C-alpha cells in the first residue's frame, strides 16, 4: 500500500514508449499532492531538470502543462517552478513554448505584485534580450501581455522592451509583436498606447513583410476599441486608409475580414464619414477573394453605419450582384436581404428588387439558393405588395433542377407564410407554392414541408388544413404517383389529425386512411397503420374505433412481415 509516489513516477517514466511517458507525466499531479511542497522542491524539480535535456517534445509538452497544475497545488511556493518554465519557454518546439507561457501565467496568478515586479519582470526582460534564440523573444512577447498590468513600477521597462522588439530584424519576432500589440494595448494606460504603441504600430503597418502587416489588422481593431473617436481619427484612420491600399491583396483581405468589427470599434461617426468610402474600394477590389470576404463583412457592416448613409452602398450592391465571380454574388444576395430591412421600402423596391430577382435565375446554384433565401427576407421587409412580384419567381425556383435551391425556397415560403400571418395573402400567393412540397422529387424538400406543417396549421387553422390542403393530399394519394409521395402525403394527414377535432378526423381523415390500409405497397400499409393509430386517439365514436381495429386486424394476416409487425404493435397498445 505504501508505495513511494516519486518512485512510481520514475518507474513509469523509465518506460520506452513515449505515450506511456506522456501518460505518466499527466499523473504528476497525484505525485505532487502526496509529496507536499518540500519534497516537490527537493526531489521533483531536480528530477524534471534532468528530463529537460533528454525527453521528447511530447513529454516536455505534458511537463509544461503539469507545471501549471503543480502551481495550483502549492500556490504559495509556486515560484520555485519558474526556472523550469523559463527554460521551457525558450524551447524550439512551438507547442512546448506556448504551453510554458500559459503555465507561467498560472504561476503568476499566485504571486504577489512584489514578486511580479522583482522576479517575473526580470525574467521577461531576460527572455526578451536573448539574442541567440528567437524563440525566447517570442515567448517574452507573449508573456508581456498578461503581466503588464501587474508590473507596477516596472511597466516602463516592459513598454520599452516591447517597442524595441517591434524593430527586430527577425521576422518571427515582428510577427509575434504584430499579433500581440492589440492585446497589450488593452492593459495599458491610454496615454502610453498613444505615445508608445501607435508609433510602432504605424511602423509595423509598413513592414516589408506582408505577413506582418496582415497580422497588424486584428491589432488595429483592438486598439481602435480603446481609443475615442477623435483619437481614432488621427491615429487609426490613416492606418486603415493605408492598409486598404496595400499592394498585397493578403493584407487587403485581412482588412476586409475585420471591417465590420472595425466599424463597430471606431464608432458611427468615423464609419459614416470615412469607412464607407474605404470599404467601397475593397468591395471593388481587383482580387476576387478580397471582394468575396469584403461582401461577407458587408452584411454586418451595414448595421454600424447610419441608415441615411446606406444609399451609398446600394449602387455597390448593384455592381456586386453582377460580379463575374459567383461567390461574390452569393454573399451579395444576403446583403440585399439584410439591407432591405434597414432601407425605406420604396427605395429598396425600386433599386434592389430587380437585382435580387435576376439573381434568383443565376447560373450558379449557390447564388440561386441564397437569392431565394434573401428574397424571403426582402419580401418580409417590404410587405405583401412585394410578394406579388416575388411569388412567380419563387414558383420558378421550386422547379429548379437542384434540390438545395428548392429546399431553400420552401424554407423561404414557409418563413414568409409564418411572418405574414394573413390568410388572404397566404391563400392567394403562397399556398400554391407551398403545396409543391407534396410533389417534390427530393426527400429533403418533402420532409422540409412536413416538418413545418404543424406551425402552418397553427397559423392558418383547421379550416385551411382540412380544406384546400387536405384536397391536395387526397390528390397526391389518389393519383398513381410513386409510393414515396403517397407516404409523404399520409404523414401530412397525420399532422393534420393532430390539429383537428374528433368528428372531423372521423369524417374526413379516416376514410382516406382506410383506403390506404389496402394499398398494394406494403410500406404504405404500415405507414397507414401508424396514422390510423394517431386517429384512434382523436376519435370517440365507438363504431369508428371498431372499424379501425377491424381494419388493422385484417392486416395481421398480411403477407408482408413489416406490416404484420406494425399491425401487432398497434393492437397491443
Partner 1 sequence: MQNRTANSKQTTAGRSQVQPNTTTQQPRAPPQMVQNMARVTDPKHVPKDTRDQFLKKIHFCSQPYDFNDDTKNVKEKQERSQYLQELFDLLKEPNFVNNLVVPHLDLIIEMIEKNIFRPLPILKKTATNGEIGMEDDDQLIDPAWTHLQPVYEYFLQLIVNEQPDVKSLKIFITHSFIQEFLELFDSEEPREREYLKNILHRLYAKLVPRRKMIRKAINDCFYTLIHETYKFNGAAELLDILASIISGFAVPLREEHVIFFKTVIIPLHKVQTCQFYHEQLLRCSMLFLSKDPTLATFLVEGLLRYWPFANSAKEVMFLNELLEVLEVCEISKLEPLIPKLFKRLIKCIAGPHLQVADRAMCFFENDYFLTILKSYKPFTFPLLVPVIAQIADTHWHKVLQESLNALKTILKEIDYQAFDKALNTKDPKYLYIIQDAKNQKKDRQKIEEKWKNLTKQALQKNPNFKEPIVPYSDTHIVGEHNGLNNGNITIL
Interacting residues with partner 1 (CB under 8 A)? 1, 3, 5, 8, 11-12, 16-17, 19-20, 22-23, 26-31, 33-34, 56-57, 62, 69, 92, 94, 134-135, 169-172, 175, 208-210, 247-251, 286, 288-289, 324-327, 364
String of DSSP letters for 136-170: HHHHHHHHHHHHHTT-GGGHHHHHHHHHHHHT-SS
Q: How many CB atoms lie within 10 A of CB 147?
A: 23
Q: How far apart are CA 292 and CA 307, in angstroms?
A: 23
Say if residues 499 and 457 touch (Cβ distance below 8 Å): yes
- Give the burial string for 154-182 (b: 16+ CB within 10 Å, else e): bbebbbebbbebbebeeeebbbbbbbbbb
Shortest distance in whole angstroms from residue 171 CB to partner 1: 6
Read off φ and ψ for residue 62, nearest 5 degrees.
-65, -40
Shortest distance in whole angstroms from residue 53 CB to partner 1: 12
Closer residue to partner 1 in complex, CB, 326/422: 326
Say if residues 359 and 320 touch (Cβ distance below 8 Å): no
Q: How far apart are CA 165 and CA 155, in angstroms?
A: 15
Shortest distance in whole angstroms from residue 106 CB to partner 1: 15
Closer residue to partner 1 in complex, CB, 5/449: 5
Shortest distance in whole angstroms from residue 489 CB to partner 1: 36
Which residues 6+ apart lie within 8 Å of 432 measured at CB? 395
Closer residue to partner 1 in complex, CB, 16/480: 16
**Placement of cell 458611427 in the chain:** 268
Say if residues 356 and 316 touch (Cβ distance below 8 Å): no
Q: Is the dihedral of CA 108, 109, 112, 113 positive or negative?
A: positive
Closer residue to partner 1 in complex, CB, 208/557: 208
Closer residue to partner 1 in complex, CB, 25/517: 25
- Give the burial string for 454-489 (b: 16+ CB within 10 Å, else e): eebbebbeeebbbeebbebbbebbeeeeeeebbbbb
Closer residue to partner 1 in complex, CB, 34/312: 34
Shortest distance in whole angstroms from residue 222 CB to partner 1: 21
Closer residue to partner 1 in complex, CB, 326/419: 326
Q: Which helix (DSSP H) or strand (DSSP E) does residue 257 occupy? A: helix 249-257
Closer residue to partner 1 in complex, CB, 330/495: 330
Shortest distance in whole angstroms from residue 17 CB to partner 1: 6
Closer residue to partner 1 in complex, CB, 250/284: 250
Which of these, 22, 36, 38, 28, lies nearest to 8 by C-alpha position? Answer: 28
Shortest distance in whole angstroms from residue 296 CB to partner 1: 16
Shortest distance in whole angstroms from residue 356 CB to partner 1: 21
Shortest distance in whole angstroms from residue 501 CB to partner 1: 52
Radius of gyration in angstroms for the set of CA atoms belonging to the chain, rounded to a whole number: 34
Amino acid at each position: 500500500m505504501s508505495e513511494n509516489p516519486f518512485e512510481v513516477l520514475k518507474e513509469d517514466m523509465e518506460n520506452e514508449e513515449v505515450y506511456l511517458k506522456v501518460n505518466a507525466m499527466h499523473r504528476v499531479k497525484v505525485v505532487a499532492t502526496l509529496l507536499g511542497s518540500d519534497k516537490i522542491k527537493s526531489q521533483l524539480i531536480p528530477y524534471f531538470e534532468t528530463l529537460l535535456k533528454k525527453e521528447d517534445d511530447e513529454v516536455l509538452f505534458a511537463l509544461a502543462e503539469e507545471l501549471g497544475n503543480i502551481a495550483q497545488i502549492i500556490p504559495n511556493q509556486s515560484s520555485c517552478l519558474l526556472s523550469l518554465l523559463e527554460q521551457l519557454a525558450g524551447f524550439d518546439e512551438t507547442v512546448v513554448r506556448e504551453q510554458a507561457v500559459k503555465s507561467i501565467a498560472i504561476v503568476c496568478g499566485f504571486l504577489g505584485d512584489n514578486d511580479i515586479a522583482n522576479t517575473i519582470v526580470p525574467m521577461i526582460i531576460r527572455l526578451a534580450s536573448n539574442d541567440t534564440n528567437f524563440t525566447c523573444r517570442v515567448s517574452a512577447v507573449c508573456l508581456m501581455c498578461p503581466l503588464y498590468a501587474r508590473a507596477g513600477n516596472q511597466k516602463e521597462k516592459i513598454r520599452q522592451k516591447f517597442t524595441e522588439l517591434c524593430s527586430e530584424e527577425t521576422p518571427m519576432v515582428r510577427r509575434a509583436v504584430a499579433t500581440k500589440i492589440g492585446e497589450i494595448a488593452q492593459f495599458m494606460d491610454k496615454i502610453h498606447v498613444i505615445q508608445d504603441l501607435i508609433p510602432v504600430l504605424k511602423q509595423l503597418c509598413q513592414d516589408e513583410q506582408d505577413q506582418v502587416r496582415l497580422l497588424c489588422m486584428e491589432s488595429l481593431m483592438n486598439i481602435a476599441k480603446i481609443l475615442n473617436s477623435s483619437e481614432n481619427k488621427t491615429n487609426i484612420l490613416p492606418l486603415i486608409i493605408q492598409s486598404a491600399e496595400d499592394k498585397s491583396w493578403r493584407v487587403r483581405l485581412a482588412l476586409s475580414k475585420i471591417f465590420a468589427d472595425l466599424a463597430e470599434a471606431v464608432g458611427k461617426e468615423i464609419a459614416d464619414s470615412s469607412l464607407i468610402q474605404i470599404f467601397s474600394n475593397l468591395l471593388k477590389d481587383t482580387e476576387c477573394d478580397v471582394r468575396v470576404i469584403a461582401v461577407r463583412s458587408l452584411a454586418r457592416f451595414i448595421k454600424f453605419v447610419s441608415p441615411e448613409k446606406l444609399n451609398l452602398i446600394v449602387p455597390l450592391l448593384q455592381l456586386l450582384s453582377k460580379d463575374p465571380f459567383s461567390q461574390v454574388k452569393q454573399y451579395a444576395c444576403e446583403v440585399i436581404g439584410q439591407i432591405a430591412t434597414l432601407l425605406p421600402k420604396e427605395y429598396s423596391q425600386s433599386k434592389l428588387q430587380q437585382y435580387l430577382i435576376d439573381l434568383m435565375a443565376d447560373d450558379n446554384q449557390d447564388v440561386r439558393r441564397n437569392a431565394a433565401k434573401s428574397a424571403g427576407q426582402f419580401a418580409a421587409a417590404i410587405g405583401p405588395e412585394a410578394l406579388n412580384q416575388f411569388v412567380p419567381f419563387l414558383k420558378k425556383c421550386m422547379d429548379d433542377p437542384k434540390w438545395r435551391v428548392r429546399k431553400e425556397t420552401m424554407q423561404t415560403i414557409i418563413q414568409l407564410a409564418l411572418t405574414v400571418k394573413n390568410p388572404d395573402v397566404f391563400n392567394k400567393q403562397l399556398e400554391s407554392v407551398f403545396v409543391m412540397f407534396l410533389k417534390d422529387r427530393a426527400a429533403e424538400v418533402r420532409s422540409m414541408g412536413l416538418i413545418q406543417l404543424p406551425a402552418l396549421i397553427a397559423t392558418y387553422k383547421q379550416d385551411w388544413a382540412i380544406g384546400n390542403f387536405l384536397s391536395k393530399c387526397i390528390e397526391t394519394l389518389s393519383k398513381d404517383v410513386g409510393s414515396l409521395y403517397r407516404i409523404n402525403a399520409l404523414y401530412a394527414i397525420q399532422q393534420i389529425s393532430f390539429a383537428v377535432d374528433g368528428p372531423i378526423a372521423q369524417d374526413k381523415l379516416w376514410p382516406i386512411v382506410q383506403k390506404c390500409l389496402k394499398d398494394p405497397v406494403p410500406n404504405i400499409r404500415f405507414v397507414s397503420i401508424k396514422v390510423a393509430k394517431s386517429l384512434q386517439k382523436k376519435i370517440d365514436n365507438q363504431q369508428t374505433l371498431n372499424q379501425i381495429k377491424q381494419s388493422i386486424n385484417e392486416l395481421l394476416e398480411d403477407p408482408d412481415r413489416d406490416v404484420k409487425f406494425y399491425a401487432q404493435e398497434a393492437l397491443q397498445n
